[in-house]
Amino acid sequence: MKYLLKNILFVLCIVAPVCSIASADDGYDLWMSYRKLDDATILKEYQQAFSSIVIQGQSETLGIIREEVKKGLDGLLGADLPVSNILTVGSALVIGTPRESELIQKLDLSDKLATLGREGFLIKSTKINDVPAVVIAANEDIGLLYGTFHLLRLMQTGQSLKDIDICSRPRIQYRLLDHWDKLDGSISDERGYAGKSLWKWDELPETIDPRYKDYARANASLGINGTVINSVNANPDILKAEYLKKVAKLADVFRPYGIRVFLSANFSSPISAKFAHESNRRGGIGNLKTSDPCDPEVRLWWKNKVKEIYQFIPDFGGFLVKASSEGMPSPQEYNRTHADGANMLAEALAPYGGIVMWRSFVYDDSKVDDDRAKRAYKEFVPFDGKFSSNVFIQSKNGPIDFQPREPVNSLFGAMPRTPLMLELQIAQEYLGHSKHLVFLAPMWKEYLEFDTYAKGRGSTLASIIDGNTHNYQMTGIAGVANTGDDRNWCGHLFAQANWYAFGRLSWDHSLTAEQIADEWIKATLTSDANAVNTIKSMMMGSWEACINYMTPLGLHHIMQEGFHYGPQPQLDKSGRIDWTSVYYHRADANGLGFDRSSTGSNATSQYFSPLRETFDDVNTCPEKYLLWFHHVPWDHKTESGRTLWDELCYRYYTGVDYVKEMERKWAALEKDIDPDICLHVKEKLATQEKDAAIWRDTCLGYFQKFSNRPVPASN
Ligand code: GCV
């Protein structure tokens, strides 16, 4: 008996883990696991609507659509649907362009299709030859792929398809992920928190990791249509032929998914290695002594290099350039301007349809202004209208650097004759890395809906970057990627929701954060109504909570230097002040905050009226930006009636309490969520709670030295 028991235990020990691995959800499938729907009514509706799939035409993209739609419908419906190019009896999903599909041609959708451009699509329920059909139609195959993913999304979220009649096209033309991946395969010191780079440079071009395809598929499912695959701190080697061959292989995988490859270029690439400066950010793969953009040899070097790139990658998208920033080389070293530099590259790319994304993230030059927040505006606005038509100025959302909260960068609205491309950060560099649950869609919505008043009321950031305010001829948005080779792509399962949200907003910035959360939860985690609501409630407040436990009331950049994770409100041993926390928070016996009003750095003057006046007056400045724009006395009365000090304490406690509440809510969902995911998130939340308390105690402990007022034990 004892022997038998021992054997049973042995078998259980061996088998149990195997079973749990087999059934475990490791997060690899992202929002595309296509679990069978459990709502019987909607399942029946879909089963009746789709007894077959009909796709006419041949192309690589159509092949992908066949694969995706089969996988999606079979999974969601628990079926094995036939895919063919002939419509038979029953009911069908019919996908095609009028050019390739006579079934679609017959429907005469030309008026609608004329409004949809190259990437748009329509989904419509109709009848073809008396057969009830749901149709996905578009002008190009890529539109069909986007339409297919959209239909699957509607089904994952359980929406009725009866009488469906929708048209969709992207509001923004260039929708890019910016990877800050290095050529040695690391991302960790470039703000990557999910393992190593997805790109296996040592295996390419011979070996193509199947994950490249999954990456492209995930992006295409959201409508992302470009990727900058290397860090803006660009290693010039990326432009050597040996790397271009590798990049070309990635481009081949991404192309049928509608994704173009772009590269970050190092401005001093043309310089010979023997003339390159010592810093590892300096260029040096060419044979020249200079990278002066007005030097004919330099211009020729770039023209030849671009020609070579297009031989490898015929649909190459263009260059992203970080110049005059954090030690990166620039045209200013030769007394040339940003426009000289960007236009030289633009001229080389123009014949092939390529573009330049020239970043406005500049703060190296101390002569420009003492206030870092003012520098981009001062350096770029004078050049409005001086850039070639294929140049974007790519600007971070805020004037400093992806802080938990900033006002919108004053550059937006101030360059009516230069297309501005918005740069957001999906990676949570300043928001708890991949350790904290922080859903970023509410933050991005706050920025997108921020009214700059550039052309009067309604000149929102969204309307600037989608071209409506200034009639830009090119429009673009980029998100600094949070992906890596971790099995679940993003480190934290909930960080996937930020990749998802970025993609969805880049296609349609009018979507609400709630809708995006709702879609992501249902596609990724569960469709149980209570669980969905609980998770949504966790996500929706998580950004504000993070602000509260890190940088409430407009505080900013008080993170650990370099690492940008934990709090470091104090100076380090070196005593250096510039770009340290004390530069930004300016705590003293009188109060707290950076005076950027007209009595201080006057950064408020860079905004349009009436924002300028609203921000300038401490009594009208929105409290969320209070310490961003003002140095405020500790006893200043805030909106709640509490003094600044008491409000600060209140906010720090509220932030931590929110994390505790998320832990409680998550614990109650155990039965609705895959056990592995449940545990993974539970552990992350425990870390977040610990970290949030450290933030609160460190910051309040430090600021108390100046305020001289007591810190309460709780709210
Ligand atoms: C890629 C911040 C980050 C840097 C980043 C830089 C940039 O300073 O901390 O890691 O460099 O922004 O956006 O260029």
Report the amino acid identity of residue 108. D
Length of the chain, please? Answer: 715
Choose one of 178, 191, 424, 482 to mutate for the ligand 1 pocket test, by most ligand atoms within 8 angstroms of C-beta.
191
Residue whose Cα lies nearest atom 14 of ligand 1: it is 232
Provide mean pLDDT across the span 706-710.
97
C-alpha of residue 124 to centroid of ligand 1, in Å: 45
Residue 466 pLDDT greater than 90, yes or no? yes
C-alpha of residue 394 to centroid of ligand 1, in Å: 14
- The reported pLDDT for the residue numbered 278 is 59
pLDDT band at 21 (very low <50, low <70, confident <90, very high): very low
C-alpha of residue 363 to centroid of ligand 1, in Å: 11
Sign of the torsion formed by the C-alpha atoms of 505, 509, 511 and 513: positive
**76, 152 contact by CB (below 8 A):** yes
Residue 401 among the catalytic residues? yes
Looking at the CA of residue 191, tell me the nearest atom of ligand 1: 10
What is the token pair recorded at 65?
Answer: 């659509």
Provide mean pLDDT across the span 234-245.
97
C-alpha of residue 232 to centroid of ligand 1, in Å: 8
- The reported pLDDT for the residue numbered 57 is 97
Residue whose Cα lies nearest atom 13 of ligand 1: it is 361
Provide mean pLDDT across the span 520-548.
98
Tokens 């030309």, residue? 110
Task: Ligand 1: list residues with CB < 6 Å.
Answer: 180, 190-191, 231-233, 322, 325-326, 361, 401
Catalytic residue among 140, 401, 451, 595: 401
Looking at the CA of residue 232, tell me the nearest atom of ligand 1: 1
C-alpha of residue 50 to centroid of ligand 1, in Å: 49
Looking at the CA of residue 328, tell me the nearest atom of ligand 1: 14
What is the token pair recorded at 530?
Answer: 């209570």
CA distance 420 to 474: 9
- The reported pLDDT for the residue numbered 279 is 62
C-alpha of residue 224 to centroid of ligand 1, in Å: 22
Residue 12 pLDDT greater than 90, yes or no? no
Strand, helix or coil at 408?
Answer: coil
Residue whose Cα lies nearest atom 4 of ligand 1: it is 190
Angle, alpha carbons 611-617-619 (nearest 5°):
115
Choose one of 180, 182, 358 to mutate for the ligand 1 pocket test, by most ligand atoms within 8 angstroms of C-beta.
180
**pLDDT digit string, tens, across residues 582-636:** 999 999 999 999 999 999 999 999 999 999 999 999 999 999 999 999 999 999 9
Please report, rounded to a whole number, the percentage of residues in the chain having pLDDT higher than 70: 96
**446, 406 contact by CB (below 8 A):** no
C-alpha of residue 14 to centroid of ligand 1, in Å: 47
Return the HEC string of 193-242: CCCCCCCCCCCCCCCCCCHHHHHHHHHHHHCCCEEECCCCCCCHHHHCHH
Choose one of 230, 264, 326, 557 to mutate for the ligand 1 pocket test, by most ligand atoms within 8 angstroms of C-beta.
326
CA distance 635 to 644: 6
- The reported pLDDT for the residue numbered 275 is 79
C-alpha of residue 91 to centroid of ligand 1, in Å: 53
C-alpha of residue 219 to centroid of ligand 1, in Å: 23
Looking at the CA of residue 564, tell me the nearest atom of ligand 1: 9
C-alpha of residue 325 to centroid of ligand 1, in Å: 9
**430, 564 contact by CB (below 8 A):** yes
Choose one of 186, 401, 425, 556 to mutate for the ligand 1 pocket test, by most ligand atoms within 8 angstroms of C-beta.
401
**pLDDT digit string, tens, across residues 137-151:** 999 999 999 999 999
Provide mean pLDDT across the span 283-304.
95
Residue whose Cα lies nearest atom 8 of ligand 1: it is 401
Q: Could you tell me which residues are beta bridge partners of residue 299?
A: none
Residue whose Cα lies nearest atom 2 of ligand 1: it is 401
Tokens 């079934």, residue? 103
pLDDT band at 273 (very low <50, low <70, confident <90, very high): confident
Residue 429 among the catalytic residues? yes
DSSP 93-140: EEEE-TTT-HHHHHT--HHHHTTSTTT-EEEEEEEETTEEEEEEE-SS
What are the backbone dihedrals phi and psi of residue 198, each rounded to the nearest 5 degrees, phi first?
Answer: -70, -25
Looking at the CA of residue 322, tell me the nearest atom of ligand 1: 14
**610, 621 contact by CB (below 8 A):** no
Looking at the CA of residue 190, tell me the nearest atom of ligand 1: 10
pLDDT band at 284 (very low <50, low <70, confident <90, very high): confident
pTM of the model: 0.96
CA distance 553 to 105: 58
Looking at the CA of residue 396, tell me the nearest atom of ligand 1: 13
Looking at the CA of residue 423, tell me the nearest atom of ligand 1: 13
Residue 494 pLDDT greater than 80, yes or no? yes
C-alpha of residue 520 to centroid of ligand 1, in Å: 29
Catalytic residue among 141, 181, 406, 429: 429
CA distance 580 to 572: 9
Peptide bond into 399 cis (omega under 30): no
Task: Give the long-range contacts of residues 599-606, CB within 8 A, separation 24 or more.
Answer: 600/630, 600/631, 601/369, 601/370, 601/371, 601/373, 601/374, 603/371, 603/373, 603/374, 603/399, 603/410, 603/629, 604/629, 606/374, 606/377, 606/410, 606/414
Catalytic residue among 39, 326, 578, 613: 326
Residue 401 pLDDT greater than 50, yes or no? yes
CA distance 645 to 546: 19
Q: How far apart are the first and last CA of the chain?
A: 59
Nearest to 446 by CA among 544, 554, 564, 552: 544
Looking at the CA of residue 189, tell me the nearest atom of ligand 1: 10
Residue whose Cα lies nearest atom 10 of ligand 1: it is 190
C-alpha of residue 589 to centroid of ligand 1, in Å: 33
